[in-house]
Amino acid sequence: MVLGESKMNLENTKICVIGLGYVGLPLARFFSRKYKTIGFDVKGNRVAALNKGYDETLEISRNHPCWQTHE
């Protein structure tokens, strides 16, 4: 270890994915396996559909655990 170098503590890390399309949604799902993750999209109808558990890109099925929220 180099003098002054420190390791990052990722224990309380929160991830934000901007854009929940065919790339952003699976990316958010991947990060949510280990970190608290927030997804953001400017399309109101996309957000409403995702909140109801519907993904028009079919990247994630309705019964996938990522639809579960954790506080």
What are the pLDDT digits (tens) for 43-56? 999 999 888 888 88
Residue 18 lies in a domain: yes
Q: Supply the pTM of this predicted model.
A: 0.69
Q: Is residue 5 part of a domain?
A: no
Model pLDDT for residues 6-62, shown as the tens digit of each residue = 777 788 889 999 999 989 998 998 898 889 999 999 999 999 988 888 888 887 766
The boundaries of the domain holding residue 30 are 14-63
Domains in the chain, number: 1
Of 70, 39, 68, nearest to 53 by C-alpha is 68
